[in-house]
Amino acid sequence: SRDCREGCFPAGVLSEMFDAYRALVTGLGERDWSTDATVRLPDAALAARVRRNDTSAPIPEGSLTDLFRKRVAEHPNRIALSWRTGEFDEHTLTS
């Protein structure tokens, strides 16, 4: 049995969690008790994790400061910080 607030989890997540829990509990009677109790992510969740962690983009040369200064030179009037009573453009931040 599960009890949760409506709308706290995306569709299907609670069912996947309960299926994993049930598989783990069922497995307790099927394995040696000294075996590690690991819970595998569902294939769809594992695939989503792999996609989100794909960082195969090229790494730019230079320090973060150098990259910021280059960006400022390209777009000095672009808004960099904005708050309720004002804003700073990128040039102002480097002045």
Phi first, then psi: what are they for 78, rounded to 5°? -65, 135
Decide if 5 is inside a domain: no
Decide if 19 is inside a domain: yes
What pLDDT, on a 0 to 100 scale, did the predictor assign at position 85? 95
Domain that holds residue 77: 64-94
Q: Are residues 43 and 68 in the same domain?
A: no
Q: Are residues 47 and 68 in the same domain?
A: no
Please identify which residue in the block is written with the tokens 């109790």.
37
Q: Are residues 68 and 48 in the same domain?
A: no
What pLDDT, on a 0 to 100 scale, did the predictor assign at position 35? 66
State whether residue 64 is helix, strand or coil.
Answer: helix
Q: Are residues 42 and 69 in the same domain?
A: no
Decide if 4 is inside a domain: no
Q: Per-residue confidence of the chain (95 residues) as pLDDT tens digits?
A: 567 778 888 888 888 888 888 888 887 787 676 766 677 788 888 899 999 998 888 888 999 989 988 888 898 899 988 999 999 988 888 87
